[in-house]
Amino acid sequence: MTDVAPTTDPLRRKRILLTVAAVVVSLALDLWTKAWAWEHLRDQPPLAIFDDLFLLEFSFNTGSAFGLFGGQEFARPLFIIVTILTVGYMGMLVRKLPTDRAYGYLAIGLVIGGALGNMHDRIVRSLEIGGELRHGVVDWILVYYMPNKPWPNFNVADIALVIGVGLLLPYLLFHAEPAFEAAAASTSGAEG
C-alpha cells in the first residue's frame, strides 16, 4: 500500500508542525503544573479560587479517569501500554489524514500531549500510600458542578485529552473520509 499523503507535501509538513507544537505546549504545561502542585499543594489544605466552585487540591490517582482501577496491580502497566498504542495510532493518523482542516491535527497533538503527560507520571511519580510505594498521576484541579457535588480531581493533561478527543471525533466523522477512500482506491487499483 502506498502512502496516501507523503510527508514531503508542504501542507502536511505544516500540519505535522502544528501537531508537534500542540504536543510540546500541552505536555510542557501539564508537567510544569503537576510539578507546581507536587511542591505547593501536597500535604496542604485545598486552595479555594472561587469558594465552593473551583479549588486547587492535590490528589494522587493510582488508577485512570475517575480513579477507575485505582490500587490495582495491573493498572499501571495496562495504562502505559494503552498510552503507547494510542500515541502510535495518533502518529499514523498524522501521516494519513487529509490536510485541508487544521483542527484535526491540533486535536491529535492535544491527545498525544495529554496521554504523554499522564504516562510520565505513571512512570516517574510515586507516593507512599498505606505503607506501600505506589505510582500514580498528580491531579490538582477540583471543580464543583453542583453544591457539594465535586467532579473528580483532574489536571492539564486531562483537559488536553478531553479537548483533543472532543475535536478529533467530529474531524474523523466528517472530514477524514476522503483520505481513507483514496487509500482504499489506490490499494484496490494496485491489486487489479
Q: Does any domain span residue 86?
A: yes
Residue 3 among the catalytic residues: no
DSSP notation for 168-182: HHHHHHHTSHHHHHH
**Global pTM?**
0.84
Total tally of structural domains belonging to the chain: 1
* Per-residue cell: 170: 467530529
**Tens-level pLDDT at each residue, the chain (192 residues):** 344 555 578 999 999 999 999 999 999 999 999 999 999 999 999 999 988 799 999 999 887 665 565 566 767 788 899 999 999 999 999 999 999 999 999 999 999 999 999 999 999 999 998 898 888 999 999 999 888 888 999 999 999 999 999 999 999 999 887 544 444 444 444 444
Q: Does any domain span residue 127?
A: yes
Q: Does any domain span residue 8?
A: no
- Structural domain boundaries, residue 130: 15-183
Q: How far is CA 91 from CA 18, 27, 66, 88, 96, in A?
A: 13, 16, 27, 5, 9
Secondary structure class of 185 (helix, strand, coil): helix
Residue 100 among the catalytic residues: no
